[in-house]
Amino acid sequence: MDILSIGGLILGFGSLLTAFIIEKGNPAKLLQISAAMIVFGGTIAAVLVSFPMSQIKTAVKHFKMVFMDKKIDFASVVEQLVQLSDRARKEGLLALEQEIPNIQNPLLKKGLGLVVDGIEGEVIRDILDREVYLAEDELKEAAEVFEAAGGYSPTMGIIGTVMGLISVLSNLTNPDELGPAIAVAFVATLYGVSSANLIWLNFGKKIKTKAKQERMLNEIIVEGLLSIQAGENPRILREKIGGMVKETGQKQSQAQEPAGATVGG
């Protein structure tokens, strides 16, 4: 399980609810079925209108990525590629055919099969680069659906609030009930804004982040396989893809720095 996703949602909604209670608010007032129907029903409807069914299915398929943490171990992949390279240098490329059934990573498995079959390096690169592109593009399509939901949700919240205010202002016979009724109407805005910033937009961002990590891993695999196909020394291969792993780590660290942060003062 992705503890950060689960913990973030609990912390986010928990903080909002706790702050509301501290301000003497009644949590029961936040439970409005009509507001939820307008915001979540309207958001889902807008998404369905905006995207083809194939992309909706892609988003549903990859939704689990938000809560499932697929650990990417760059070091073990590097070591596996070095071992394959060492065996290829000692026994020849055909000896690697025995390793194919034991490989779990689909891209590495397919690429190694191409290497064993004697396919030229440029052809292997073209085939594998296409696989990498398609895999990343599929995840980006999934993220777009959730990001779109994050754009529609606040608008649906405003629509819900306006509808509530119309109902309130059309019945002003009891002034004492006017304040609570208006407060209830604004619950829809709360639903729209909070769901956009704590759920939909973050789901899309999480999928995109994991897509980048998988692309980096796939690029390392492609370079490693091409080095094996070219017969490079295993030590050279380790230095080459090891440098790519270090560069990947630096990019991830920079991506996690707060906006406006500077290095070296």
User: What are 108-130's pLDDT values in tens digits?
Assistant: 999 999 999 999 999 999 999 99
- Residue 66: per-residue pLDDT: 92
Q: Which residue in the block uniquely carries the two structure tokens 């779990």?
A: 104
- Give the pLDDT of residue 62: 94
Mean pLDDT, rounded, of the chain: 87
Give the CA distances from residue 37 to residues 16, 31, 160, 196, 203, in Å, rounded to whole numbers and listed in that order: 21, 11, 9, 15, 21
Whether pLDDT at 260 is above 60: no
Mean pLDDT of 144-162: 95
Any idea where the domains of the chain sit in the sequence?
Answer: 33-254
Mean pLDDT of 76-81: 90
CB atoms near residue 3 (< 10 Å):
9
What average pLDDT score do residues 161-189 get? 81
Which among 135, 95, 142, 141 is positioned nearest to 221, based on CA atoms? 135
Percent of the chain that is helix, strand, coil (3-state, to 5): 85, 0, 15
Contact between 191 and 39 (Cβ < 8 Å): yes
CA–CA separation, 108 and 225 (whole Å): 8
Q: pLDDT at residue 171 above 80?
A: no
- pLDDT of 75 reads 85
Task: Give the model confidence (pLDDT) of 157-166 as tens digits.
Answer: 999 999 888 8
Alpha carbons 166 and 18: distance in angstroms, whole number: 30
Radius of gyration of the chain (CA): 26
| DSSP type of residue 243 | H
One-letter identity of residue 93: L
Overall residue count recorded for the chain in this entry: 265
Please, what's the b/e burial string for 194-226 (b: 16 or more CB within 10 A of its CB; e: otherwise)? bbbebbbbbbbebbbebbbebbbbbbbbbbbbb
Dist. CA 48–CA 104, nearest whole Å: 36
Tell me the pLDDT band of 262, cut-offs 50, 70 and 90.
very low
CA distance 171 to 181: 10
CA-based nearest residue to 207, from 159, 114, 263, 140: 140
Asked if pLDDT for residue 83 goes beyond 80, the answer is yes
Tell me which H or E stretch contains 206. helix 201-229
- d(C-alpha 41, C-alpha 36), whole Å: 7
**Cβ count near 31 (within 10 Å):** 10
